[in-house]
Amino acid sequence: MKLHSARLGTGHLLSGSAIDRSRPIQFRLDRRVIHGFAGDTVLSAVLASGIDTAGHRDGQPIALTSRHAPSIAPSVQAKDPHAALPMERTQAHDGADYVTLAPRLKRNLPTRLLKRDSHSLHLDLGASDALTRPWLGRPGDPGPTGDLVVIGGGVAGMSAALAGTKNGLRVLLLEASTRLGGHARLFGTMEGEETPDAAITRLTQAVAASSKITTLTSAEVFALRPGKLRLHQVELLDGVPRGRVLDVTAPHIILATGAFERLPVFSGNRMPGVIGSLEAFDLAQLYGIWPGQSAVLATSSSPAYRLALMARDAGITLQRILDSRPQPQSRFIEFAKAYGITQAAGTITGSVAPAPKTRRLTVTPQLALDGFSSAETSIETDRLIASGGWQPDLTLWHMAGGESLWKAASARLEPTTAPPGIALAGSAAGWLTRAACLASGTQAVQHRLGKETKPVVDTLIDPLYETPDAAAPIGTPPDETSQPAYLDGGRGYLARPRHLPSRWPNWLPFATRPEVWSLADTPHPLDIAEIAAGVQLGILPATSAGIVAQERVAMVGVDVEELAPPDKSPLPLPPPYLLGRYANASLFVVAPSEQRLLSPGSLIHIDPDSADPLNAIGVVVRIMDGAAIALVIGTTGQTASLREPGRVIPIRLVAAYSEGMDLAAALGGSASPL
């Protein structure tokens, strides 16, 4: 099957500001030639080439996205874990030859000849280590030092960095993507504000001109505690990307990690062709990527309408906008009406399925008003843009010991008690307007330094004219023939239980019973979006959401040493929220029976056949320099099992854990699992 380029043309806002179309490049991935342009990442070039599927899980395809992509490595270093790179943060390099570091689906010769799917990477996503990130288990080298570290290079993060320099601080600014600026461009401009482009240009120029700011892009922080963090950066050495793990210490840390877009929960929500509005905007605005010529947009938030307008200007047919809000009002909505785009208020995506004999999607809208629900006429389209609103990214906040609570009014987790030495800024702190995000960066720095701060004012448009975001939409439960309905679009695969109708009356003892499932008791690690979805689905009490987020959001720890601020105690082990959870439990260094990195939040059982969380004897609480630390009931030398998706991992309790111990020596000189 011939692949078609997914690039848009030029002459509009979605032309690809990050790429140079006059400088074509090509490289190989798994022996396939990929074409791109200077400025592409490996992932954007792959997507632009028409490859939109990461692989299959339980026989169903799952999309390739920036949050769901395998690690890669140069083909000559495929067996060297230190050479692993993230597709989404690695700049495409002309002439490179990469392989994906993931198990591949086993396809016999007749299958390969009769059904050659050129749109897929053919990964076996049912394998427990399908999307492994080997750098998570590596100790860090000493990184740059500073008085203030700002994590996140959007407008709030850059504002915080500049405020730090005005206070005489040496600042380290860290951004996970390949460039500064964040996502402000999607959200438009309120009256009296400078445009997003003007704000981003002004801030990036000021950051570049400051001798007190060291900026690292393609630098993702994956471990944080008060006083210290660990990051993985993709740097260019002689034009060739290389990965490195760095440890950074600083007395003051600002988290300007922004907010991520929730994935609405409906059958087929991770099929190829389904994408969030933020990722769709980034791919189009930065790289000029938009597969297909038609789209349906389903949203509970107004900024997605702005994307619809830009897509229409780029020649894309917007077949319909489904809005879960019953009577939404917005200036963007009025513009969409002026464009003649059909809008369906009070309507969500009920389900998505593959269209017959094509690579298109069949989208079934679902009218959902005041408890009334009914399926509408299906729409066949090339692409579904699904926006479930915004959740502050509190992953690092929880990792460092920060607390949060579920707020029903906004249907999201919001931060409460801060860890020592750490403050939030921008969307991560819950601010909504760009003016408030900018002001919050300065305020966070002033607060950390103990100086007087001005209150941040979030001036919102009257709800009469700008309808607030609604909760992330929830479609009908999938049945035995439907596509899975996943709780999030990241590396996890937690799905909503299927609805299995019974042929017998419910009062009969042998009638099919609804599956009972508590998200808090699932044996796998969770992320914030899965927890938020669990509250909405009623499988996690809202009062427990913040505690579950602290306990189950995956953590990769860094050594204690003498890194905490001198007047503060280090992050404790076990964390306070686990005290009393397992009677007579102690901290142990545990080791798997195979070379692999265990996942914090995974429950430990004596019986390998048991999946009942009530029978668990402990939980993995942290990864420190590749060694897993668990709170578990047991003794040194005891064996147990740890359940991960699709398999059971035998483990051994190697030694009792104590602060400052030599973890490598405890594991026989091999603290790193790889």
Domains of the chain: 1-135 (3.10.20.440), 139-261+390-461+496-571 (3.50.50.60), 263-388 (3.50.50.60), 574-666 (2.40.30.110)
Out of 113-122, 314-323, 394-403, 542-551, pick the least confident. Answer: 113-122
Please determine, for residue 215, whether its predicted confidence score (pLDDT) is greater than 70.
yes
Q: What are the DSSP calls for 227-271, one per residue?
A: TEEEEEEEEEETTEEEEEEEEEE-SEEEE---EEEPPPB-BTTTS
Tokens read off for 636: 């040194």
Mean pLDDT to the nearest integer, 600-626: 80
* Averaged pLDDT score across all residues of the chain: 87
What integer pLDDT is reported at residue 307 of this predicted model? 94
Q: What's the pLDDT band for 564 if we cut at 50, 70, 90?
A: very low
Q: Which comes out higher in pLDDT, residue 541 or 110? A: 541
Note the pLDDT tens digit of each residue in 521-534: 566 678 899 999 99
Q: Say how far apart CA 276 and CA 286 lie, in whole Å.
A: 15
Please determine, for residue 89, whether its predicted confidence score (pLDDT) is greater than 90.
yes
Mean pLDDT to the nearest integer, 632-648: 83
Note the pLDDT tens digit of each residue in 364-385: 999 988 778 888 999 999 999 9
SS3 category, 644: strand
Q: Which comes out higher in pLDDT, residue 388 or 374? A: 388
Phi-psi region of 456 (alpha: psi -120 to 50; beta: other; left: phi over 0): beta
Q: How many residues does the chain have?
A: 674
Mean pLDDT to the nearest integer, 190-198: 82
What integer pLDDT is reported at residue 439 of this predicted model? 94
CA-based nearest residue to 577, from 602, 544, 599: 544
Q: H/E element holding 641?
A: strand 639-644
What integer pLDDT is reported at residue 107 of this predicted model? 64
Q: What is the 3-state secondary structure (H, E, C) of 556-600?
A: CECCCCCCCCCCCCCCCCCCHHHCCCCCCCEEEEEEECCCCCCCC
* Alpha carbon separation from 285 to 9, 15, 148, 207, 295 (Å, rounded): 12, 6, 32, 23, 17
What integer pLDDT is reported at residue 95 of this predicted model? 95
Q: What are the DSSP calls for 382-410, one per residue?
A: SEEEEE--EEE--HHHHHTT--EEEETTT
Report percent pLDDT > 70 for the chain: 88
Q: What's the pLDDT band for 536 if we cut at 50, 70, 90?
A: very high
Find where tokens 């599927």 sit.
53
Q: Is the entire prediction scored with pTM above 0.85?
A: no
* Highest averaged pLDDT of the listed ranges 117-121, 286-290, 558-562: 286-290
Q: Which residues contact 223 (CB under 8 A, 6 or more apart)?
A: 229, 230, 399, 555, 556, 557, 558, 623
**616 within 8 A of 605, measured Cβ to Cβ:** yes
Tokens read off for 587: 């901290």
What integer pLDDT is reported at residue 355 of this predicted model? 93
Please determine, for residue 176, whether its predicted confidence score (pLDDT) is greater than 70.
yes
Out of 94-98, 225-229, 621-625, pick the least confident. Answer: 621-625
Note the pLDDT tens digit of each residue in 27-43: 999 999 999 999 999 99
Mean pLDDT to the nearest integer, 553-566: 50
Q: H/E element holding 285?
A: helix 277-287
What integer pLDDT is reported at residue 560 of this predicted model? 43
What integer pLDDT is reported at residue 568 of this predicted model? 40
Please determine, for residue 552, whether its predicted confidence score (pLDDT) is greater than 90.
no
Q: Say how far apart CA 152 and CA 647 lie, in whole Å.
A: 36
What integer pLDDT is reported at residue 567 of this predicted model? 38
What integer pLDDT is reported at residue 280 of this predicted model? 97
Note the pLDDT tens digit of each residue in 473-518: 999 888 888 899 999 999 889 899 876 666 666 656 655 555 556 6
